[in-house]
Amino acid sequence: MHIEIQPGIRLFVDIEGLGLVPDGRTLKEKPTLVLIHGGPGFDHTAFRPFFSRFTDLCQVVYFDQRGHGRSDPRPLDEMRLDVFADDVVRLCDALGVTRPIVLGQSFGGFVAQRYLARHPAHPRKVVLSSTSHHFGLARKVERFGALGGPDAARVTRDFWERPGPDTWAAYEQHCRHLYNTRPKNPDAGGWMQFRPDILFEHTRTELPGMDLRPGLANVQCPVLVMAGEMDPVTPPQDAEEIGAAIPPQWLAGFERFPGVGHGPWRDDPEAAERVLRAFLASQSAAG
């Protein structure tokens, strides 16, 4: 379905699971889990089918961010973190969702960090998964080089410093298969609707000077940070620094997954489910 979040601006949204479930003679409201996908330029389909398993705990909201995937096209100058962060609130308002649990994966974690900075009282809880707070190019180059050799290191630097169709094609060839330690679902590539122009726009404009840590001082809800030990594009050192920037009383956990790359559920779904299920089900002062 398409949901209008502002006049003339529609996002593609899919909702899985009931929000109200029978509990004796009453209907009990479950929390809503809002999933912010990675990219930029990708869509929500990378969350499927893994997050279907949490519908016993939450109503799950998948959406394509502004201009992405199946959402309506928008001008490139709107593809900014502040806009995406505010869209999380706009979407929740349009759906009637209060106090969501928000999970941001990779670039979605950039958005979730900016959302925490701009709307600290809005979420019930937040998960920051396989994400970074800064450009961190030197770490990317080092990690890709360690996994893929000198060609991967060179191609990594070329793409992130000069994003465009040619450098992206080389990055796809030499680096993308290094993101994870398990083979991808062979069918999933056909699910995604990719917008490379959005990826290039963000990489040219906001990413080089990005530092999201100062805004994390505003956090007012429990935050779980997740990182794969083998992740080359958002290395675990970045996650450590994110955790250190969150006020200690709100850091609900920092989970490092051995033998795991980008998106813990892709390489160790059992461990990722165990960690996420415990966090989603936990009671907190914020929830």
- Where are the chain's structural domains? 2-133+194-281, 135-178
Given this model, what pLDDT does residue 188 score? Answer: 73
What average pLDDT does this structure show over 181-186?
86
The pTM (predicted TM-score) of the whole model is 0.96
Model confidence over 19-47: pLDDT tens digits? 999 999 999 999 999 999 999 999 999 99
150-163: string of b/e by CB count within 10 Å (b at 16+)? eebbbbbbbbbeeb
Output the DSSP codes for 148-193. H-HHHHHHHHHHHHS-SHHHHHHHHHHTGGGS-SSPPPTTGGGT--
pLDDT digits (tens, 9 = 90+) for 166-180: 999 999 999 999 999
Determine the Cα–Cα distance for residues 162 and 104; give it in Å rounded to an integer: 26
CATH number of 2-133+194-281: 3.40.50.1820, 3.20.20.70, 3.30.70.2860, 3.40.190.10?
3.40.50.1820
**pLDDT tens track for 192-220:** 999 999 999 999 999 999 999 999 999 99
Pairing of strands 59-63, 32-36: parallel
pLDDT score, position 116: 98
- pLDDT tens digits, residue range 41-71? 999 999 999 999 999 999 999 999 999 999 9
DSSP conformation class of 234: S
Predicted pLDDT of residue 286: 44
